[in-house]
Structures are given as structure tokens and as C-alpha cells.
Structure 1
Amino acid sequence: MPANLLLWSCIAYLLGSVSFAVLISRLRHLPDPRRLGSGNPGASNMLRLGNRSLALATLIGDLGKGLLAVWLARHAELSLAYQGWVGLAAVCGHVLPIFHRLQGGKGVATAAGVMLILAWPAALLAALVWLLAFYWQRMASLASLLASLSLLPWLAWQAPQLLIPVALMVSLILLRHRVNIGRLINGQETRFKP
């Protein structure tokens, strides 16, 4: 592994390890979101806990750290394939954050930020899939799963050099949604109220 890839992957992991849901909750003297609602420190749980502005701030922060990690790698002149691995490191940081006892989120917003830099048309396609799926079923987990999976055919067609790191990123997101997948199969997944 080239030294510069290792360096930027470590930086990306550390950026990803910053949990905006936890930080925002601490700054606002609110309970830890890992202890309430779904227990997930992400925008959906912040919204579920009833605060739209804090959910939006969490979404922007989590998306921004993925975007920043890959943007830095791009400006360090890493190849597109290496940028994909740096993006995966950022998502790993979000899912297993060293700053928060490895209790992280599901990685969807951070992955969205990564994809906006790596392949913005794929990110827009995934966003469209997310919106349509959420409008259809009112379930953030189902929307996130379908949006993540929608990245793979586009990348296989347009950017095959990204397929392996992004496929691993999608696999990590699927793994983090394993409980949700079980509830979806059993028809017990929670829907957001209109």
C-alpha cells in the first residue's frame, strides 16, 4: 500500500470518527442519541427524537466529513481508485468511530458525501432512489438500502475502478442495517409519520 494512500486513509478514518449526532447533542445538553430512539447516532434518529434542525445539522455534518475526506485525497492527487479507498475509510470511521468507543452510525450520509466527490451522477441517482423509496414506504432504512444498492450497476458501467471499494462500502452499510433488514422481512420496520 503506498504511503500516501495509508496517510489519507488514516485522516479519512479520523474525520469519519467525528459523530455529529453525539457532538450536537452534547453541545445542546441533550441525551446521547445512542441511548434513545433507534440508538443510531445519525440524522434519521435525530429526526425521530423530534428535532428537525438538529437532524439537518447532523446530516450536513456526516455528509460533509465524507465529502471532505475524498476532496482532500483528490487534491493530494491520489488516483480515482485510491480516492475510493479513502472514502471507504471515512465510512469505516463513521461506523466504528475511535472517538466514541466504536459506537457509530450506519454510514449512509457519510457515504453520500463520499460519492458526491467520487461520482456525483451516481450520488444523484442514489438520492433520487432514496427519495422515491421513502415517499413510497416512509421507511428510512429501506430507502437507504435501495439507494446504496443502486450505486453498484452505475459504477460497474461508468467507473469500474471504484467498484471494489464502493461495493465494500455498500456491504458495510448492509451489515449495519441487518436488524432493519430482519424487521423489513417480518413487516415490522418503523415508518415515519407524514
Structure 2
Amino acid sequence: MFWLVIAYLLGSVSFAVLISRVRHLPDPRKLGSGNPGASNMLRLGNRSLALATLAGDLGKGALAVALARYAELSSLQQGWVGLAAVGGHILPIFHRLQGGKGVATAAGVMLVLCWPAALIAAMLWLTTFYWQRIASLASLLAALSLPPALAWLAPSLLIPVTLMVLLILLRHRLNIGRLLAGVENRFRP
């Protein structure tokens, strides 16, 4: 339970919001897509702040699982810790439960839990984004690749990671609607 709370609190740190405050910029939850994540920071026109947000969100997911590994928790327990970190990002206690979509934090979690699955998801994300220029589509396909990859690579992680994917899908429900309607936002080259 201790590590789940620590992971949730780590996940609750919103790097997009913190970086915006430090740089005296508007709250990213009130601009662009309204999402406090790297894609919205990029959409708002600042590539370096988007990269810093991505690094922070990846890092907190990776750190949560790395701490659990250091504490010698089992692989399955590390999976639950990773889920708690992603849950913290999506519903952060420090930011009135107004969080991001969890994709970058999940990527950090997966880098430590099972890096080959993370690599598969990252390659799918990059290929999809290059082809369609839609971050939400790339994120959804990358997330959906995780359960089949883990069924093959690390079956013990299947339950917590599948729940993590379901959280990400739920958080993307409006994006899914826009994708089905053909009106989802594209990044312009």
C-alpha cells in the first residue's frame, strides 16, 4: 500500500502545470486542448517546454516503478505501482483531479516494467504520428499494443497494464469520438 500511495503522489505532479507556473505562462488546462501534457504544450507553441513536460511525465512513471523494483517488489506488484502512477497523472490530487491522459507516464512505467513492450509501443506511436499527424490516434494505438505484447513478453503484467490501457482509453473518449467523426485535430508540419 505504501508504494501505491508514493506512486500515486509522484503521478500527481503535473509537469505541464509546474513548468507553466515557473515560466509565468498560462495554465495549459485552460488553453489548446485543455490537457496538461506534452502534446498540448507543443500545440501551444513551445517545443522546449513540451520536451521538458514529456521528460518529466516519463520520468515520474519510470521513477515510481524503479523505486518499487529497488524495494524488491515482485513484477506484478511493480505493475500495480505503475498503474497507481498513471492514475495519479490522470486524477492528480495536487491539481484538483484535473490531469492529463496518462500516455507519457505510462511510457515511463513501461520502460522500466518491460522495455521491449515499451519499444514496440513507441515505434507504433512514431509510425502512426508520422503517417497521420494525430497524437491521440498514435497514443491510442500505442496503448492498445501493450496487452498483446505483454501476453507474449511478460504475462504476469497483463492485468495491471490492461487496466492502465483501459484508463488511457477512457481518458481519450472525446478524442475517440472526434476520430470516428473525422474531425480530430492534426499537428501541422
Taking the TM superposition and a 5 Å limit, the aligned residue runs for 1:14-93 are 14-93=9-88
Q: What are the residue-to-residue correspondences of 1:1-194 with 2, within 5 Å?
A: 6-194=1-189
Deviation at 1:158, TM superposition (A): 1.8
By how many angstroms is 1:157 displaced?
A: 1.4
Alpha-carbon shift at residue 131 of structure 1 (Å): 0.3
Distance 1:116 1:156 in 2: 16
Contact 2:128–2:138 under 8 Å retained in 1: yes
Tell me how far 1:154 sits from its aligned partner. 1.0
Q: CA RMSD in A?
A: 0.3
Work out whether residues 9 and 93 of structure 2, in 8 Å CA contact, stay in contact via their aligned partners in 1.
yes
Instruction: Encode CA deviations 1:107-127: one digit per residue, 9 max, x unaligned.
Output: 000000000000000000000
Alpha-carbon distance between aligned partners in 1 of 2:98 and 2:138, rounded to the nearest angstrom: 23
1:19 aligned partner, one-letter code: S
Aligned length: 189
Alpha-carbon separation, structure 2, partners of 1:76 and 1:190: 42
Kindly, what percent of the aligned residue pairs are identical?
81
CA distance in 1, matches of 2:153, 2:28: 38
Give unpaired runs (5+ residues) of structure 2: none
Give the aligned residue type for 1:100.
H
Look up the equivalent residue of 2:25 and give its one-letter code.
L
C-alpha separation in 1, matches of 2:76 and 2:145: 19
SS in 2 for 1:12: helix
- Ranges of 4+ aligned residues in structure 1 off by more than 3 Å: none
